[in-house]
Structure 1
Amino acid sequence: VRPHAPELAEWYRAEGYWTDRLLIDFLESAVRRFPDKTAIVDDRFGSITYLALQERVFRLSTALYQRGVRSGDRFVIALPNWHHVPLVMLALGYIGAISVHMPVLGREREFEGVLRVSGAKGLVVPGCYHGHDYVSMIDPITQELEGLDLKVSIELGDAKPGWLDFEQLLEEAHTSLPDPDWRPSPDDITSVLFTSGSSGDPKGVIHSANTLGALNTTLAPIYGFGPDDVIFMAASLGFSAGLIHGPRLALFLGTTLILQESWNAEQALETMAREGAAFTLFTPTLLHDLLESDAFAQYGPRLALQLILCGGSNVPRHLLRSARERLPDTLTSVIWGMTEGIGSSCWPQDTPERVTETDGKAFLGTELDILGLDGERLPRGVEGELIMRGPQRFLGYFGRPELDDEVFLPD
C-alpha cells in the first residue's frame, strides 16, 4: 500500500478528519445512544433497529470466523440495496477481514475478474435478482478458483452443492459475541472498492477505516448533518458513492438509512416525504426521473430534503437549474469525485450561480494543484493535470502495483 506521509497523518488526526474509529465503533456508539432507533428501512426485507442489527452482526461475524474467515481475508459483496450490505461489512469488520465491493448487476466477466484479482475467500450474492440466477451463473467460475471456500446466497432457494443460505449460516454461530482480539487497526486495509471502469478496466481501490471514514468526516460538517437527518439511498451500494454516502454515512451519524431496492420515482417521492428524508444522492437519470414524475406535484411540496448530491456521470446544468426551481428549499449540487477518494461539491453558503454552474469546492482537508506538461505548477484558470491529496486519499490498487506507479507522486 501507499501510506500517507507521517506529518500529513498527524495533521489529519489533529483536525479530526481521521478519527481512528472503525465502522463497528460507530455501530456500538449508536446502540449505546439509541438501541431502539430504526437503523435501516429495507423495502424488500423490512426495517431493523440498531440493537437488532448489532445482534445479527455479532452472530454473522462468529459464523464467518467458524467457517475459516480470518483477518486480511477478502470477501466479495455483490448485493442489491438490501440491509445485508452493511450487515456483512460490519461482521467482516469485527474479524478484520476485507470487504470487496462490486455492483450486483455484474455478469460472468465482471465476477470472474473481481474474484481472481481479489483472491477472495468468500462471497455473498442474491439467489435470484431481477429474474437472473446468480448462483448458476457464478458457480462454474468458482470451481476454477483456489481458496474460494465460502459461497453464500441470500434466498438461495433449492439446495445447491457448495453453497450456503444466508440465514442457515447465521444459525451456525455457536456464540453471538465476537472476540475483541479480532479487531483490526484503523489504518489496516478494510475495503477494496472496484471502480466503474469509466476510465478503463475496473480496478480494486484500497481503503482503510480512516481514509473511508474521512469521506464522511470531511463532508458531513459542511452541511451540518446529525443523527436526526434521515438518508434515502437509491444509488447502488455496489459503487463507492452509494456505499459511502449511504450505510457508512448513516452509521457515522447514527441516523436512519432508507434503502430502495429498485428505482421507482413515485415510490421514492412517497417514501422520502413520509420518512422526512433530509439527504439523498442521485445519478442524473434518477434526478431527472424524480423531477419529471407525475407524482412530483403530490409529494414534491411535502419533501424535507436539505441536500441532493448528483453525480456518477456528467450532470447537465439545466438539470440543476430545474431542481432549484422545483425544490427551492433544497440545495441540489453536483458531487464530483473518484473511488480513489477525493471529491468536491457546493456548500450551503454558495451563490445559486456557483451551485448551478460549477462543481463546487473540494471536501475539507483536500489540497489541489495543477501541473503543466513538464511538471511545473500552473496558476488558476490554466488547463493542466489535476493533482490532489487529502485524508480521503486511497492506499493503492489491489494487486496492481504498476498502476500505483502511474498515479502517485513523491510527497
Structure 2
Amino acid sequence: MNSRVATFNAEALDVTPALESRSPLPSPLDRFRDHLALDPHTVAVRDDRDNALSRQELWDLASEIQGEMASRGLTAGDVVVVCMPNWTEWMAAYLAVVRGGLVPATLPITTDPRSIAYTANLVGAKAVVLPRAHRGRDFTTESTTLAEELGHLVHVLLVDGDHKTRAWRTFDGPPVVVPEYPQGMAHILFSSSTTGKSKAIAHSETSLGAYNEGVISRYRVTGERPVFMPSPLGHSTGFWHGARMSMMTGATLVLQDSWNPHRALELVDRHRCAITVAATPFLKDLVDAEWHSDTPKLNGMRVFLCGGAPIPPSLIEQAQNQMPGTRIGSIWALSEGGATSSLPDDAPDVVARSCGRVMPGVVLETITKQGTIAPRGTDGEIVMRTPSLFLGYIGQEDLYRSSFTADGYFRTGDTGIVDEDGYLRLTGRLKDLIIRGGINISPVEIENALSGHPQVVKVAAVGRPDDRLGERICAVLQINGTAPTFEEILSWLHGRGVPRRLWPESIHIVSGMPETPAGKIRKNILRELISEEKE
C-alpha cells in the first residue's frame, strides 16, 4: 500500500482498527444461538400481516425445514435459491439453509420464473424456496415453468404464509451442472443492475460480517429496539441491514412486504423501531404521506439511512421538519461490498452534499480515464478496497477480472469525488452520464434541482438522442396532480436561481417510474421510452 493511502487510513479516518485486522467475527447463526439461549421468548421477527415468531418458534420452524432439505439429499455446500416475500417465513427458510451448511442465494420476490431459472442455473442451485402464492401470482404453476427452464433435477419448496403448511415438488432430470465456487463462499447475492443479466455475487462470511460490523458499530445498533425493513430481504439492502443485522444484534425484525408509506409509519410508531436502511424514494414517500397523529412521523426512530441515490437537500429539510427525532443519513454500497455512511453527528448540510465517510478499513479513490489514481478531490470513477469486498462473480470470471484496476482496486462504475476527510460525493454513473456535445453532464445535480418542485414526486434525468449533439437533457417526471408545462418547469428553475446548465431541454411525464426491487429507477427503460417518442 502506498504511503498516501496509508496516511489516509490511519490519520484522516476513524481510529477504530481496520476490520481486516480483527479476529474473525461470530456468524449471525452463532449470535442467534446466543440470543436464543439468553431469552427464547423474545420476538425474533414480525411482519405487516401481524404474524410473529419468537426466537424459539423461529428456531423450531427452521429445524423442520432443515430436516426436509436433508431428507431430499441436500448437503453442506449445496446452493438453495430463496425467493420469498418479506414474511416471517423468509427468516425461517434462510435460517434453515444456513443451519444445514447450505449456501443461500437470495432473490427479490418480484423476480419472474424465467429469471429465477436463469440465476438458479448460473449458480448450480439444487433447490428453490418460493411462496405458494403472492400478490396474485400462482407459484405452484410458476414452479412448473421454472423447472422446464432449468431442465435438470430440482427440488422446489412451496411455503404458505401460515407457519404450518408447505409442500415439496421434485422435478426429475439430469443432475445440475455445478460451477466452480470461490473458496469460502457463504452467500450469493444478485445484482439489481438496471441493464443486462443478473450477476451472481459470491460473498464469504468474513466479507458479509465486515460490512455488518461497520454499520452496527458506527450507529451503535443494539437488540433493545426493533429494526424496520421495508426493502426486500432478497436484495442486498434488506439482507444485510434486515435479516443479518437482526440476527447479529438480537433486535426484533419488523418487516413490511407491500410498500405503503402510511402503513410504514404505523408499524414504526407501534413497534418503536430504532433504525432502517432503505432507498431514497422510500423517504420521499414518507415525507409526502398524510399523517394525522399527535406524534411526529417515524416517532422514536433514531436513524433513517438512505441508499441507492443521493438525497436531495430539499428532501432532507422536509424530512427533518416532519421527523425531528430521526437522524437522516446517507449510506453507499454495492452488492459487491459496502463503503461509506454518514456519521451519526453529521450536520444536515453534510448529509445533503455527500454519501458519508468511508468506513474503517475502506480505501476509496477515483481514477483517471487512463486508469491511474487521480488526486484527491478529482471527479472520476470511484474505485475501492474494502474488507467487505465480494469473492467473485460465479460463472462470469472474465467480468470479475475486468472489474479491477491494475492496482487491484474494484471499479464501482459510479462517478464521484472523495475529499481529504474521506467523504464521498456521488456525481453519477458511467452509464448514466449525459454526453451533450462531447461534454459529460451528471444527472445528479439536475435531479436534485428538480426534486424540490412541489409537484414532482420522482425525477430522473437522462439523455435523449440528438442528431447534432449526441444527447440532450430530458427530465422524466412523476407528478402529483396536474402536470406543469415545460415552460413552467423552466420558469420555476429560473426563479430559484438554478444554473441554466442544469435546465432540461425537454420533459417527459410518467404515471410511475420503472424501478428495481430496491427502489432504484431503471434509467435504461426510460432511455428506451424517450428515444421512441417523437419530438
1:196 pairs with 2:192:
yes
Q: Distance in 1 between matches of 2:364 and 2:161?
A: 48
CA shift, 1:142, in A, is 0.6
Larger Rg: 2
The within-5 A match list for 1:22-33 is 22-33=27-38
| C-alpha contact (below 8 Å) 1:306/1:330 kept by paired residues | yes
For 1:15, which of 18, 22, 41 is the aligned residue? 22
State whether structure 2 residue 184 is matched by structure 1 residue 167: no
Question: Which residue identity is paired with 1:201?
Answer: K
Q: Contact 1:218–1:365 (CA<8 Å) still a contact in 2?
A: no
Q: Distance in 2 between matches of 1:136 and 1:168?
A: 13
- 1:393 and 1:296 map into 2 onto residues whose CA distance is 44
- Once the two structures are superposed, the pairs formed by residues 37-48 of structure 1 within 5 Å of their partners are 37-44=42-49, 46-48=51-53
**For residue 351 of structure 1, what is the aligned residue in structure 2?**
347
Structure 2 CA distance for partners of 1:303 and 1:148, relative to 1, 3 Å: farther
Q: 2:73 aligns with which of 60, 68, 73?
A: 68
Task: Indicate conservation of the 8 Å contact 1:74/1:100, yes or no.
Answer: yes
| Aligned length in residues | 377
Secondary structure at 2:247's aligned position in 1? helix
Between Structure 1 and Structure 2, the one with more strand by share is 2
Q: Distance in 1 between matches of 2:86 and 2:378?
A: 41
In structure 2, C-alpha distance between the alignment counterparts of 1:31 and 1:335, rounded to whole Å: 30
Aligned-residue offset at 1:306: 0.5
1:265-280 alignment, distance < 5 Å: 265-280=261-276
Q: Unpaired runs of 5+ in structure 2?
A: 1-16, 169-182, 409-535
Residues 170-219 of structure 1, C-alpha deviations (whole Å, 9 max, x = no match): xxxxxxxxxxxxxxxxx721111111113543211101111111121011
TM-score of the two chains, using structure 1 as the length reference: 0.85
Any residues of structure 2 matched to 1:5-404 within 5 Å, and which? 12-15=19-22, 18-19=24-25, 21-44=26-49, 46-155=51-160, 167-168=166-167, 188-198=184-194, 200-295=196-291, 297-300=293-296, 303-404=299-400
User: Aligned residue for 1:180?
Assistant: none
Amino acid at match of 2:93: V
Higher relative helix content: 1
Percent same amino acid at aligned positions?
28
C-alpha change, 1:125 and 1:230, in structure 2 (3 Å) is same
The runs of at least 4 consecutive aligned structure 1 residues that moved more than 4 Å come to 296-299
The amino acid that maps onto 1:237 is L
> How far apart, in 1, do the equivalents of 2:292 and 2:306 lie?
18
Q: Find the aligned partners of 2:18 and 2:351 in 1 and give their Cα distance.
A: 30
Asked if the contact 1:269/1:299 (under 8 Å) is kept, the reply is no
In the superposition, the TM-score normalised over structure 2's length comes to 0.66
**Which residue pairs with 1:160 in the alignment?**
none
Query: Residues 120 and 147 of structure 1 are in contact (CA less than 8 Å); yes or no, is this contact kept in structure 2?
Result: no
CA distance in 2, matches of 1:145, 1:84: 25
Determine helix, strand or coil for the equivalent of 2:296: helix
Counterpart contact for 2:367–2:380, Cα < 8 Å: yes
Shift of 1:44: 2.8
Q: SS in structure 2 opposite 1:219?
A: helix
Aligned AA (1:399): G
* 8 Å Cα contact 1:121-1:147 kept in structure 2: no
Distance in 2, Cα, partners of 1:270 & 1:28:
31
Q: Label 1:148 to 1:299 Cα distance change in 2 as closer, same or farther (>3 A).
A: farther
Shift of 1:31: 0.6
Q: Following the alignment from structure 1 to structure 2, what is the Cα–Cα distance between the partners of residues 205 and 148? A: 23
Task: Indicate the structure whose relative CO is greater, using CA pairs within 8 Å and at least 6 residues apart.
Answer: 1
Structure 1, unaligned runs of 5 or more: 1-9, 158-164, 170-186
On the 8 A contact 1:321/1:356 being kept in 2, the answer is no
Report the residue type matching 1:295 in the other structure.
W
CA RMSD of aligned residues (A): 2.4
After TM superposition, give the deviation of residue 146 of structure 1 in Å: 4.5
> How many Å apart are 1:293 and its aligned residue?
1.6
Q: Distance in 2 between matches of 1:71 and 1:97?
A: 5
